[in-house]
Amino acid sequence: MSSGAAAAAAPATVWHEATIERIVRQTPRVKSFFLRTALRPHIAGQHVDVRLTAEDGYQAQRAYSIASAPGAVRLELAIEELEEGEVSPYFHEVAREGDTFEVRGPLGGHFIWGANDGGPLLLVGGGSGVAPLMAMVRERDHLARDVPLLLVYSSRTWEDVIFRDELLRLHDKRDGFDLVLVTTRGPRGREHDHERRLDIPLLGQILAAWGHEPRHAYICGADAFVESVARALVQGGIEAAKIRTERYGGPGK
């Protein structure tokens, strides 16, 4: 069964209780929450809906991409704190290990990748948009190390790179996983990284150095970032049909 067929086989609309088992700070503004819950297995790239209910009955809901690899024991959500949000401040200011809330999913059948989908695989993420891409990176590391994968990840500073230590360890394996980090408001952390905006010339330079023609390309980030990168890839000769995008942003965070 293809990854898309698997996602569509069992719609996940029932709310389940999720318990926070562990909290890990990733960056000054992002924490990972590892959850124990009864959701069915997910495909890399999918997301869950999170629902919080206040004592007076008021409910707030938000979608978060799943960062953990398919088959992981605990579901991982990497949540960025947003000052005007409804949901993210709870996780950063209130939530503790042992707390519970509701989730449903996994959801999404378009922005997904499985080991059987092959490659070469190009992933381009901006900020917390790296979360679903991280699930793909981990899937590839567990089940498809023969697939060439390039992750181009743009963040504000070196300190804002989510999953930084894990990504650097994976890159140091030199097993076909390539990592290029781009910082827009601070110095680069490694010699071959970049400290500038990810524009069309830079993306072309990075892809030329990689030396592979992507079979699949996934872009996730804020609206303007996704539009810019998708346009750059098409102008660089990558067929639009090979490109899948996911955007974050809007109310309710």
Nearest to 246 by CA among 153, 130, 145: 130
Residues of the chain with pLDDT under 70: 1-11, 249-253
Looking at residue 243, its pLDDT comes to 98
Helices 223-235, 200-210: axis angle to 10 degrees equals: 60
Q: How many CA atoms lie within 13 A of 137 on its CB side?
A: 25
Looking at residue 249, its pLDDT comes to 52
Per DSSP, which regions of the chain are E strands? 16-27, 30-37, 47-53, 59-65, 75-80, 100-107, 121-126, 149-155, 177-183, 216-222, 243-248
Structure tokens at 129: 């948009």
Nearest to 129 by CA among 62, 45, 31: 45
Looking at residue 6, its pLDDT comes to 42
Looking at residue 17, its pLDDT comes to 97
Looking at residue 175, its pLDDT comes to 96
Domain spanning 3-107, CATH class: mainly beta
Looking at residue 253, its pLDDT comes to 34
Scan for tokens 């290990």, then name that residue: 97
Which amino acid, residue 153? Y
Is-same-fold flag (3-107; 115-248)?
no
Q: Where are the domains of the chain?
A: 3-107, 115-248
- Tell me the sheet residues that pair with 27: 30
Looking at residue 37, its pLDDT comes to 96
Pair 246, 220: CB distance under 8 Å: yes
Scan for tokens 């005007």, then name that residue: 84
Looking at residue 85, its pLDDT comes to 85
Domain spanning 115-248, CATH class: alpha beta
Strands across the sheet containing 59-65: 59-65, 47-53, 100-107, 16-27, 30-37, 75-80
Nearest to 188 by CA among 152, 218, 158: 158
